[in-house]
């Protein structure tokens, strides 16, 4: 089947658009600005992340069910894109000491980012045929790496060399970066809303009707998922995989700092991951088509085990750069492939609902990785053993994935349970 190229390109551009928030606000600039300019602490930042994850976990399955019932996933995505973009720009407002206000704005932005991604992922089924979803999904991640990396590089140049852009030293350069994220996200989202067509469902016109339908369909998700055993097994494997990847992402900078790597090297490593991830995600998607999605996903999990083991022995910035390169090789491609596999196991007509369910459950269980890291660090008094413990999540995920029969799962997805 030949997909509409304009729809595919437009869908892919949203990853380019919103990844700017992930790199500049979530990973690189805002965590530092939050402490140095706002006056927050590590504990404040951690709590901010926790609250946003909980809110998204609670909202995602309900909103996904509502979107499926209304047949208008783009409208929900548009809403979350707007609040995420607005929150990015609003980060210029909090001053020193206004920690709570800054946290609230970050939480709103992350709700926009996380909530929107649930509907964005669900639209993959509308733009790509089943046989093309690995490539299209991988293109999305690749463009996300490139777009997020380009804007982050520009923003870091503005922050490090403010006089070059006519700015004074201080927080102004970081504030310019936040505004650029909001504008970037808004502008590059336009193609998706103009060109992507989605299958319409016979939903209710009134919001209250959609809400009640969403509650009903959410209950159906919990009830009906037992009828899709291959989907259920894949979700279990994905939870452990997501937890391992998320722990590597959120703990990498902290771990690097603990073993004495300077912040400039940590930021450089993030850029390496972004720009390696761009071509690697394309290549990963092509290999998934040729060699099989499940086989490539399994291989990526094995490489993550190697990354964690090598992280245990890491000594200097060069080692960190090498590990960042390895992460870039698999981080985007593996998640894109997992997204494509999952899209084929979802029951027909319930894409947003089940994507929301996966988003909420994976985020709900994502606390386990950092918790294991913390407990091992406490009892062993060693960050190296703590990072090594993360390998557990990838090993368990590999075992569970080996039990998944994707062909059988695709047949199960055609069944209309409860219809």
User: pLDDT tens digits for 140-179?
Assistant: 888 988 899 899 999 988 988 899 999 987 789 999 999 9
Residue 200 sits at φ, ψ, to 5 deg, of -90, 145
Query: Which pLDDT score is estimated for 44?
Result: 80
Looking at the structure of the chain, the number of domains it has is 2
Please say whether the beta carbons of 355 and 346 come within 8 A: yes
- Residue 419: per-residue pLDDT: 43
Find the mean pLDDT for residues 233-256. 83
Whole-number Å distance between alpha carbons of 242 and 363: 9
Structure confidence at residue 400 (pLDDT): 95
In a domain, 66, yes or no: yes
- Please report which residue ranges of 21-41 form alpha helices under DSSP H: 29-33
* Chain segment 371-382, per-residue pLDDT in tens: 787 788 788 888
CATH number of the domain that 33 lies in?
Answer: 1.20.1250.20
Q: How many CA atoms lie within 13 A of 310 on its CB side?
A: 18
Indicate whether 148 belongs to any domain: yes
How confident is the model at residue 404, as a pLDDT? 93
Note whether 221 and 235 are same-domain residues. Answer: no
pLDDT over 70 at 204, yes or no: no
- 168 domain-assigned: yes
Give per-residue pLDDT as tens, 76-120.
899 999 999 999 999 999 999 999 999 999 999 999 998 898 889
Q: What is the pLDDT of residue 366?
A: 73
Question: Using the 8-state DSSP alphabet, how is residue 314 labeled?
Answer: -
More confident residue, 73 or 308: 308
Is there a single domain that holds both residue 281 and residue 240?
yes
> Is 35 a member of any domain?
yes
pLDDT at 95: 94
Q: Are 19 and 113 in the same domain?
A: yes
Q: Is residue 351 part of a domain?
A: no
More confident: 418 or 15: 15
Q: Say yes or no: 13 and 54 in one domain.
A: yes
Q: Which domain holds residue 211?
A: 1-195+207-226
Task: Mark whether 83 and 149 lie in a shared domain.
Answer: yes
Q: Is pLDDT larger for residue 214 or for residue 249? A: 249
User: Tens of pLDDT along 285-314?
Assistant: 888 888 888 999 999 999 999 999 999 998
pLDDT of amino acid 208: 61
Q: Whose CA is closest to 293, among 249, 247, 238?
A: 238
Q: 113-122, 189-198, 210-219 — which is least confidently predicted?
A: 210-219
Both 254 and 114 in a single domain? no
pLDDT given at position 34: 85
Q: Provide the pLDDT for residue 1.
A: 47
Question: 3-class DSSP state for residue 313?
Answer: helix
pTM of the model: 0.75
Domain membership of residue 361 (yes or no) is: no
Whether 149 and 165 map to the same domain: the answer is: yes
Residue 355 within any structural domain of the chain: no
Write the CA distances from 159 to 17, 37, 342, integer angstroms.
Answer: 21, 13, 40
pLDDT tens, position by position, 17-50:
999 998 888 877 887 788 788 988 766 876 887 7
Averaged confidence pLDDT in the chain: 84
Domain co-membership, 72 together with 183? yes
- Same-domain pairing of 222 and 245: no
Report the pLDDT value the prediction gives residue 31, as an integer from 0 to 100. Answer: 79
Q: Are residues 249 and 211 in the same domain?
A: no
d(C-alpha 391, C-alpha 384), whole Å: 12
Name residues whose C-beta falls within 8 Å of residue 93's C-beta, 6 or more positions apart in sequence: 101, 105
pLDDT of residue 58 exceeding 90, the answer is no
Q: Which of 192, 331, 337 is nearest to 273 (CA)?
A: 331
Same-domain status, 159 and 262: no
Percent of the chain with pLDDT over 70: 89
Q: Classify residue 405: in a domain, yes or no.
A: yes
| Residue 415 or 215, more confident | 415
Q: Return the pLDDT at 262.
A: 76
Q: What is the DSSP string of 211-231?
A: HHHHHHHHHHHHHHGGG-HHH
On whether both 221 and 236 belong to a single domain, the answer is: no
């Amino acid at each position: 089947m030949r997909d509409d190229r304009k729809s595919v390109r437009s869908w892919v551009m949203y990853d380019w658009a919103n990844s700017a928030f992930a790199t500049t606000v979530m990973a690189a600039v805002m965590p530092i600005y939050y402490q140095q300019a706002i006056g927050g602490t590590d504990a404040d930042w951690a709590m901010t992340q926790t609250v946003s994850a909980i809110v998204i976990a609670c909202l995602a399955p309900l909103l996904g069910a509502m979107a499926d019932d209304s047949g208008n996933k783009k409208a929900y995505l548009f809403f979350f894109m707007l609040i995420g973009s607005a929150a990015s720009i609003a980060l210029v407002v909090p001053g020193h000491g206004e920690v709570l206000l800054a946290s609230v704005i970050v939480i709103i932005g992350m709700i926009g980012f996380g909530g929107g991604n649930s509907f964005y992922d669900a639209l993959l089924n509308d733009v790509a045929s089943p046989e093309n979803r690995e490539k299209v999904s991988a293109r999305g991640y690749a463009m996300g790496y490139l777009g997020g990396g380009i804007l982050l590089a520009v923003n870091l140049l503005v922050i490090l060399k403010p006089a070059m852009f006519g700015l004074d030293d201080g927080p102004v350069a970081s504030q310019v970066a936040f505004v650029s994220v909001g504008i970037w996200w808004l502008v590059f989202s336009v193609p998706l809303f103009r060109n992507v067509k989605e299958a319409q469902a016979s939903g209710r016109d009134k919001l209250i009707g959609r809400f009640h339908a969403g509650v009903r369909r959410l209950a159906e998700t919990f009830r009906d998922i037992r009828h899709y055993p291959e989907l259920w097994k894949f979700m279990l494997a994905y939870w452990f995989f997501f937890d391992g990847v998320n722990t590597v992402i959120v703990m990498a900078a902290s771990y690097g700092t603990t073993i004495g790597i300077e912040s400039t090297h940590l930021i450089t490593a993030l850029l390496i991951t972004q720009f390696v991830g761009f071509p690697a995600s394309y290549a990963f998607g092509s290999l998934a088509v040729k060699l099989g999605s499940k086989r490539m996903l399994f291989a990526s999990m094995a490489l993550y085990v190697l990354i964690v083991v090598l992280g245990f022995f890491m000594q200097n910035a060069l080692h960190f750069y090498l590990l960042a390169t390895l992460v870039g090789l698999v981080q985007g491609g593996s998640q894109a492939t997992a997204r494509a596999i999952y899209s084929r196991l979802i029951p027909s007509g319930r894409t947003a609902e089940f994507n929301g369910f996966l988003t909420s459950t994976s985020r709900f269980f994502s606390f386990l990785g950092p918790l294991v890291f913390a407990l091992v660090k406490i009892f062993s008094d060693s960050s190296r053993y703590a990072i090594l413990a993360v390998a557990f999540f990838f090993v368990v995920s590999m075992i569970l994935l080996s039990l998944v029969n994707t062909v059988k799962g695709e047949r199960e997805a055609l069944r209309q349970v409860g219809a």
